[in-house]
Amino acid sequence: MAQRGFFITLEGGEGSGKSTQVPVVADFFRQRGYDVVCTREPGGTKLAEQIRSVLLTKDPDEDLCDKSELLLMYAARAQLVETLIKPSLAQGKVVISDRFDLSTLAYQGAGRGIPLAEIAALRQVAIGDFAPDLTLLLDVPVEVGMARMRARGKADRIEQAGTAFFERIRTGFREYALSHPDEVALIDGTQELAQVSAAVTQVLTERLGAQL
Ligand code: Z5A
């Protein structure tokens, strides 16, 4: 029987350390013989990266309205799922995405206040019932993440929003994780880097080890 692929996503607020953990997840699967494709959202394909640039670049002459932001997130996601993720999974590869649909619930839903029913309707159009096999949510208090991002330098358009926006996002992420424990593993991102990586590896082993 052909090897099945896996779709793993990393989620979290600004500076949560999710991008830092992508190589840890990739190594976990490579050591078990899988071909791994790493991608990110919004973006990951040529056209989706163009959409990312519209989403993250602040235009001095015109604000992107919340509904356009939501629609563009799903336009980028539909493109990524159809042209990269599904074909890779069909070849038995592991796809690891730095952010995916849970970010939309957190940022556009909890953050911007767009009703979850409207988001669900758009998700159905864009990607149907397609979903990750497992999501790793890196959780850090907003002030910890912001301090890390300040150390990194310039903020993008979305990162320029205020602290209250990011508190709502963190709450949105956490509430979803706590109410969907089978889909999302909540990981304490405030630990030392090596400890976070160990926690990531432990979750993958416990949740997927028997299937690999
Ligand atoms: N967005 C959205 O609104 N709706 C959606 O549906 C989607 C996205 C998909 C793009 O995100 C923006 O799009 C994002 C959400 C929105 N905007 N905001 N705001 P992105 O993923 O490209 O960018 P980001 O969220 O700003 O994340 P990032 O830059 O990739 O950072 P990170 O992944 O959270 O953290 P990191 O890069 O791994 O680490 C940040 C720093 O902390 C770095 O210097 C590390 O060395 C350090 N670090 C990492 N781990 C540790 C530990 N454990 N201890 C100490 N220091 C650490």
Please report the DSSP string for the chain in residue order: -PPPPEEEEEEESTTSSHHHHHHHHHHHHHTTT--EEEEESS-SSHHHHHHHHHHHSPPSS-PPPHHHHHHHHHHHHHHHIIIIIHHHHHTT-EEEEES-HHHHIIIIIIIT---HHHHHHHHHHHHTT---SEEEEEE--HHHHHHHHHHH----TGGGS-HHHHHHHHHHHHHHHHH-TTTEEEEETTS-HHHHHHHHHHHHHHHHGGG-
Please tell me the residue having the least CA distance from ligand 1 atom 57.
17
Domain locations in the chain as residue ranges: 7-211
Task: Give tens-digit pLDDT for 67-94.
Answer: 999 999 999 999 999 999 999 999 999 9
Mean per-residue pLDDT over the chain, rounded: 96
Please tell me the residue having the least CA distance from ligand 1 atom 48.
17
Q: How far is the CA of 26 from the centre of ligand 1 (A)?
A: 17
pLDDT score at 1: 59
Specify the CATH number of the domain 7-211: 3.40.50.300
User: Which whole number is the average pLDDT over 184-207?
Assistant: 98
